[in-house]
Amino acid sequence: MPDVTKTVPEAAAEDAAVAAAGGTLPESKPEKTRSLWGDAWQDLRRSWIFIVSAVLILLLLTITFFPGWFTGADPTHGDLAKHFLQKPRMGNFFDPDWLGYDQQGRSVYARVIYGARASIAVGFGTTVAVTLVGGLVGMIAGYFGGLVDSILSRLTDVFFGIPFLLGTMVVLNSFQDRTTWVVIGALSFFGWTQIARVMRGAVITTKQADYVHAAQALGASTPRILFRHILPNTLAPVIVVATISLGVYISAEATLSYLGLGLNGVSWGNDISDGGNQIRVAQWIMLYPSIMLVITVLAFIMLGEAVRNALDPKMR
């Protein structure tokens, strides 16, 4: 967040002093020496874990945004007379029959494809929300310290002491129409504490750096120091935690839907719950959504591990 009260020469002098002290300027063009992000990208390009997870996530995102490319069947339409508990018939991958039908005559394949949209949307939405809220709380607490840090840290401890799934279940139980935004809000309400702790620790370490003291000595405003000099140098651990947490939130949404407290629409958790009631006679109803859920969570956890290994010099 640039400080509009500074003139061009003053801003240039501040940037020069910060760069001389070892700081990172977001706008500055990289020179011959690669930055932390440049080194991380070079490591990621050579990591098979990153390549496999990136390919899986790209495929999942394609299914999420363009489900019609993979099936023309309606996931909510059922024909009991024709398709009641019809067994899978392996053949064409885009045929709605090849994964069988559930007890309401609905295509399991179509529900697996369209269920990705709900689960991944909740995962991404929750990750963005907790990163913004937790990052802001942790940055303010770590930078100002003192009474502000004590109040925000105790508030974080209160929320951290509430069991994540139990608290989310209590909140969702008060809503009759549980839309995607309601589930994202409930998960975010109890999920921001870990990001806040990570950001607070990173800010406490970064604010002692010479380039921060140089910016303060030159009269830079607090928002400018926070968003221009501290934030770019504390993003690495936050990105790692957020990437790994994304898979956790997808799994949490499926757990809530399995318990009947998740989304009211098509989702993998609802299908796994429905399949559990027919596990003796129609195992495929529960099997295929479970496989997709495991692949999705594993892909995001693998991506988080690859990013952590690339951004943490101690892991090299």
CATH code, domain with 110: 1.10.3720.10
Report the pLDDT value the prediction gives residue 4, as an integer from 0 to 100: 44
**Is 30 inside any structural domain?**
no
pLDDT 10s digits, 268-311: 888 888 777 777 777 777 888 888 888 888 888 888 777 777 76
pLDDT 10s digits, 122-146: 888 999 999 999 989 988 988 888 8
pTM of this structure:
0.77
**Is 10 inside any structural domain?**
no
Quote the DSSP letter at residue 316.
-
Backbone angles phi, psi at 215, to 5 degrees: -65, -40
If you average pLDDT over every residue of the chain, what do you get? 78
**Is 31 inside any structural domain?**
no
**Is 138 inside any structural domain?**
yes
> Cβ distance 246 to 127 under 8 Å?
yes
Whether the predicted pLDDT of 177 surpasses 50? yes
**Is 29 inside any structural domain?**
no
**Residues of the chain above pLDDT 90, percent:** 3
Lowest mean pLDDT among 10-19, 139-148, 194-203: 10-19
**Residue 213 to residues 11, 16, 70, 71, 208: CA-CA distances in angstroms?**
15, 13, 55, 58, 7
Whether the predicted pLDDT of 196 surpasses 50? yes
pLDDT bin (cut points 50, 70, 90) of residue 1 is very low
Among residues 7, 15, 8, which one has the least CA distance to residue 215? Answer: 15
**Is 16 inside any structural domain?**
no
Distant-in-sequence, close-in-space partners of 268: CB < 8 Å, separation ≥ 6 = 112, 115, 116, 118, 119, 254, 257, 289, 290, 292, 293
Structure tokens at 100: 């069988």
Report the pLDDT value the prediction gives residue 130, as an integer from 0 to 100: 92
Whether the predicted pLDDT of 225 surpasses 70? yes
- Report, as an integer, the average pLDDT of 149-178: 86
More confident residue, 196 or 93: 196
The count of structural domains within the chain is: 1
User: What's the alpha-carbon Rg for the chain, to the nearest Å?
Assistant: 24
Report the pLDDT value the prediction gives residue 314, as an integer from 0 to 100: 55
Whether the predicted pLDDT of 10 surpasses 60? no
Lowest mean pLDDT among 40-49, 88-97, 127-136, 247-256: 88-97
More confident residue, 278 or 160: 160
More confident residue, 165 or 31: 165
More confident residue, 2 or 84: 84
pLDDT bin (cut points 50, 70, 90) of residue 178 is confident
> Cβ distance 3 to 224 under 8 Å?
yes
Report the pLDDT value the prediction gives residue 21, as an integer from 0 to 100: 53
Backbone angles phi, psi at 75, to 5 degrees: -70, -15
Report the pLDDT value the prediction gives residue 48, as an integer from 0 to 100: 81
Q: Which domain holds residue 302?
A: 36-315
**Is 144 inside any structural domain?**
yes
Lowest mean pLDDT among 72-86, 222-236, 295-309: 72-86
**Is 229 inside any structural domain?**
yes
Report the pLDDT value the prediction gives residue 239, as an integer from 0 to 100: 84
Structure tokens at 165: 């799934």
